[in-house]
Amino acid sequence: MQDFTTEADARIVIDDLLRQANWDPADKSQVQTERAVYAQKKSSDEVRESKIPYSPQKQNQPSGRTDYVLYSQSGRPLAVVEAKRKAIHPYVAKQQVLPYAQQIDAPFIFLTNGEIIYFWDYKNDDARIVNGFYSRRDLERLVTMREEFKPLATIEIPEYYIRQGEQRKVRPYQREAMKALDQAVELGKHRFLIQLPTGTGKTDLMCLYLKRFFEAGRAERVLFLVDREQLAKQAIEAIQDILDRYSSYWLKAGMAKQEQQITVCLLQTMISRYQEYTSGYFDIVIADESHRSIYGTWQTALTHFDAFHIGLTATPSEYIERNTFKFYQCKDGEPDFAYHITKAFREDFLVPYKFATGITVFLAEGVDVDEEHYDPHEFERRWTNEDTNRKMMAEFDRLAWENYKELAPGQRIGPGKAIVFAITKHHAARLTEYLNALHPELQGSYAEIITSDVADADDLIRKFKYEDYPQVAVSVGMLDTGFDCREVLHLVMCRRVMSPILYQQMRGRGTRTAPHIGKKKFVIYDFFGNHKRFNDSDTDIFTGTGGGHIPTGTPSPPKSPRELIELGLKDEWLYAVAYVEVGPEGERIDKKDYITNWEHIIRERAKDDLIIKKVKEGGPLTEKEEANLVQKLNSPEMYFNEDNLRRAYKRPGGTLIDFIKAALGSYQLKSREEELTENFQAWLVTKNITPEQAQYLTMLKNRGIVRGKVEVNDLFAPPLSILNAAGLGVELFGEMGLQEIITDMNESVFTQDMAKEQ
């Protein structure tokens, strides 16, 4: 497609992009345009070694002009910006602008046409696509780090560290992981993927490694991204424990950002707030459970930042989609470091398990695969009733009391901590009631429901982890991943689990060691026969493709959008179910009615509620105000919380603040086209492609926005056929490569749209 926009048009856009990165194009102490560059007199040796054309006749005469020069506070040139008109891909200007940057001693170069921006640290790396300009502070920090950093090999890996008041030994695999990261960093790699089973100390490992990065002068600001509140709590606790010399905080949706060294943040919050940060603001971005973060809207919170990216995952290689490996610059199926669960059991760093025998399995053969996936409430109605629920709880309770001393001789109170995984909130309420009925002497404190609709869920989690009662936590979706309680001796599966990833994450809730109670094993009570589906046993551990098989590194075939949603984002109900399940009893409310009630309540409260007024006016909340707001809205009868609102609005990345502003009309939830365009830009940053390929994919993206996905047949029909899209695509990618990139784009960019069609 021909493009008639001029370089002057591009500069209008570039000026605006510079302002977004806190530059003032009108302030000549910050930004100069059309600066003349002079050829300087050089020695004969410099002439021979220099790559810059030199002529004695042109000495001290302009050899060219830079479009923009960005300056430090002390007046030192930091970066040259080369502007091209939209039709020209900026990467082609590399060699044109390099001599200018070298002549004025500017260490960095930006290449842009107003649409695509490349950042070039030309003394260390090739130019790479970034999401925006660096700020003055970002560039000054980079210069300082380049001048002062130490090789990581000179920073000693400690033998021990203090965690929760106890001395812990750095484990051999943690040491090996740090060495592998060192090697990758020194080789110039910018992205790293670490695979460690649940319970092997990924967060502690990252804290120890960050400490080495800080000591080597290679980092000043770090972002730690997680996708669950429990993970955020655990991360900030570990950071403030191990890295107590460095400032840190948890950035929540309504809070003002703080200038601290370490920021912990939910992915969902950062999706709404990443534009408050420049692309170079953070030096390191760590993504916990990173296999969930490389799809659609979620990846914008990662790719916005041009930093060292470290991905952490407990998911076996077979179930990590290839885009995750590509993003982290790994070969398919080969993380930068992996420590397999079978080895962790063998080396006693995880506690093994066994399955309860002789229990009743309630799931009959022939159940529809989609039955639970699309309507858990219907699945519960069909496959459980009062009798089966009572029977499950009675069998579990009897066996748990019989064997808890064998599992952990030091466990003082029976039967030891247990997690029950229920189908729905309604199901969880029934199971909790039946468990408490078995122990009337404890007056309802034996078992507790822990779901997003329990107003004091955090306090209940604290009690479960640190107090005698409750002994049993019954939950739906809240404790199956990202929850850490070392003393868990019993896992009770009262639901079907179709996802091999989720199955292993749930199983991982019991694998943590607990020497203080002499924990030797834990028991899985699988009333729905899930372990048979995965061929899992205590003697033949399921680790990916089948019983007892350690991952081989063989890449798995692409997964369908439905699988990606289930395995990665846990949004089974977002598009397929018309109701939201709310309250401890799991009452079903139509999504439209839920949103109508929400908007009415918020508008009414905005008249006299000072916190909601503050949100409406765009003022930042204190941590106390945010907690107070969450508690008030999640009170009985209303149960307005982020989890329910995300389901009702079908917005997995929304925050409570977003939904309040949307109800008040002061915030427009992003349109589908805006979301998809952002998804595409984020996806494009992860690709190692040529400028011509990037331009071609932008053309396909526009077609995908219109149709909801891109199909090969689209290339042979107008309007794409008029542009010879099929022939051009084969020329740029090859026939198989073109099909693969289209599949990749659909899975990463248009996933949610495709899911709506199913």
Model confidence pLDDT, tens digit, residues 191-206: 999 999 988 989 999 9
Please tell me the predicted confidence (pLDDT) of residue 363: 67
Q: Give mean pLDDT, residues 605-617.
A: 90
Q: Does 164 lie in the same domain as 137? A: no
Give 443's contacts (C-beta < 8 A, 6+ positions apart). none
pLDDT at 751: 63
Per-residue model confidence as pLDDT tens digits over 39-58: 654 444 443 444 444 444 44
pLDDT digits (tens, 9 = 90+) for 695-716: 788 888 888 887 778 888 888 8
Q: Do 270 and 164 reside in the same domain of the chain?
A: yes
The two structure tokens encoding residue 254? 């309504």
For residues 117-129, average pLDDT: 90
**Residue 708: per-residue pLDDT:** 77
Clarify whether residues 103 and 219 are in a common domain. Answer: no
pLDDT in tens, 341-350: 889 999 999 9
Structure tokens given for 113: 């046409």
pLDDT value at residue 299: 75
C-alpha atoms less than 13 angstroms from C-alpha of 119 in its C-beta half-sphere: 21
- In whole angstroms, how far apart are CA 692 and each of 113, 145, 698? 14, 34, 10
Do 178 and 141 belong together in one domain? no
Q: Mention every residue, 6+ apart, whose C-beta is less than 8 A from residue 734.
A: none
Tell whether omega for the bond before 470 is within 30 degrees of 0, i.e. cis.
yes
Is the pLDDT reported for residue 381 higher than 80? no
Percent pLDDT > 90 in the chain is 39
How much is the average pLDDT of 682-705? 78
CATH number reported for the structural domain that contains residue 262 in this entry = 3.40.50.300
Tens digit of each residue's pLDDT (9 = 90 or more) over 412-447: 999 999 999 998 888 999 999 999 999 999 999 999
Q: How would you class 194 by CB atoms within 10 Å of its CB: exposed for 0-12, middle for 13-18, buried for 19 or more? A: buried
Last residue of a domain, one of 305, 340, 375: 340
Nearest to 137 by CA among 72, 77, 223, 76: 72
Asked if residue 442 and residue 318 are part of one domain, the reply reads no
Residue 543 lies in a domain: no
Query: How far does Cα 509 stand from its chain's mean position?
Result: 20
Q: What is the CATH number of the domain that holds 16?
A: 3.90.1570.30
From 626, 648, 664, give the residue that closes a domain: 664
Which of residues 625 and 584 earns the better pLDDT score? 625
What is the strand order of the sheet 308-313 is part of?
A: 248-251, 262-266, 222-226, 284-287, 308-313, 191-195, 337-338
Higher pLDDT, 152 or 559: 152
- What is the model's pLDDT at position 404? 95
Q: Which pLDDT band holds residue 129 (cuts at 50, 70, 90)?
A: confident
2 located within any domain: no
Count structural domains, the chain.
5
Q: What is the pLDDT of residue 294?
A: 59
How sure is the predictor about 563, in pLDDT bands with cuts at 50, 70 and 90? Answer: very low
* 179 within domain boundaries: yes
Would you state the pLDDT for residue 476?
A: 86
Q: Tell whether 171 and 92 lie within a shared domain.
A: no
Q: How many CB atoms are closer than 10 A to CB 577?
A: 17
pLDDT value at position 442? 94
- Output the pLDDT for position 470: 96
Residues 363, 527: Cα–Cα separation, whole Å? 8
The percent of residues above 70 in pLDDT, for the chain, comes to 85
Lowest-confidence segment of 289-303, 336-350, 744-758 by average pLDDT: 744-758
Residues 587 and 468 in one domain: no
Q: What is the pLDDT of residue 48?
A: 42
User: Do 323 and 206 have their domain in common?
Assistant: yes
Residue 545 included in any domain: no
How crowded is residue 687: how many other Cβ atoms within 10 Å of its Cβ?
Answer: 18
Per-residue pLDDT, 249: 95
Q: pLDDT at residue 410 above 60?
A: yes
Average of per-residue pLDDT across 378-403: 88
**Which of 97, 129, 148 marks a domain boundary?**
148
Question: What's the pLDDT score for residue 362?
Answer: 77
In a domain, 519, yes or no: yes
Q: What's the pLDDT tens digit per position in 241-261?
A: 999 999 999 999 889 999 999
The HSE-up count of residue 238 (CA atoms within 13 Å, CB side) is 22
Question: What is the strand order of the sheet 128-130 is part of?
Answer: 31-38, 62-71, 77-83, 108-112, 117-120, 128-130
Q: Is 494 found in the same domain as 463?
A: yes
For residue 465 the two structure tokens come to 């982890």
Of 82-96, 225-239, 625-639, the range with the lowest mean pLDDT is 82-96
In a domain, 558, yes or no: no
User: Are residues 130 and 251 both part of a single domain?
Assistant: no
Q: What is the pLDDT of residues 95-107, one digit of tens each?
A: 889 999 999 999 9
- Based on the fold, state whether residues 165 and 135 are members of the same structural domain: no
**Distance between CA atoms of residues 522 and 485, nearest Å:** 13
pLDDT of residue 689: 72
Quick one: how far is CA 729 from the chain centroid? Answer: 31
pLDDT band of 517, cuts 50, 70, 90: very high
489 and 510 in contact (C-beta within 8 Å)?
A: yes
Neighbours of 461 (CB within 10 A): 22
Residue 533 amino acid letter: R
Lowest mean pLDDT segment, chosen from 26-40, 292-306, 514-528, 632-646: 292-306
pLDDT band at 278 (very low <50, low <70, confident <90, very high): very high
Quote the pLDDT of residue 113: 83
Query: What pLDDT sits at residue 367?
Result: 53
Helix H, strand E, coil C: the string for 455-474 is: CCHHHHHHHHHHCCCCCEEE
Q: Which domain holds residue 415?
A: 353-533
State the pLDDT at residue 396. 96
Mean pLDDT of 364-374: 50
Regarding whether 173 and 143 lie in a shared domain, the answer is no
Q: Per this entry, what is the length of the chain?
A: 758
Query: Which pLDDT value is given to residue 398?
Result: 95
Instruction: For residues 26 and 611, give the distance between their C-alpha atoms in angstroms, rounded to a whole number.
Output: 38
Share the mean pLDDT of the chain: 82
> Is residue 317 within 8 Å of residue 157, measured between CB atoms?
no
**Does residue 192 sit in helix, strand or coil?**
strand
Instruction: Give the confidence band of 598 by pLDDT, cuts at 50, 70, 90.
Output: very high
* Domain-embedded: residue 426: yes
Residue with the bigger pLDDT between 105 and 166: it is: 105
Q: Which of the pair, 574 or 165, is modelled with greater confidence?
A: 165
Task: Report whether the peptide linkage leading into residue 415 is cis, meaning its omega lies within 30 degrees of zero.
Answer: yes
Nearest Cα neighbor of 570 from 170, 305, 295, 379 is 295
Mean pLDDT over 164-185 rounds to: 91
* pLDDT at residue 559 is higher than 60: no
pLDDT at 34: 82
pLDDT value, residue 261: 96
Q: 538 in a domain, yes or no?
A: no
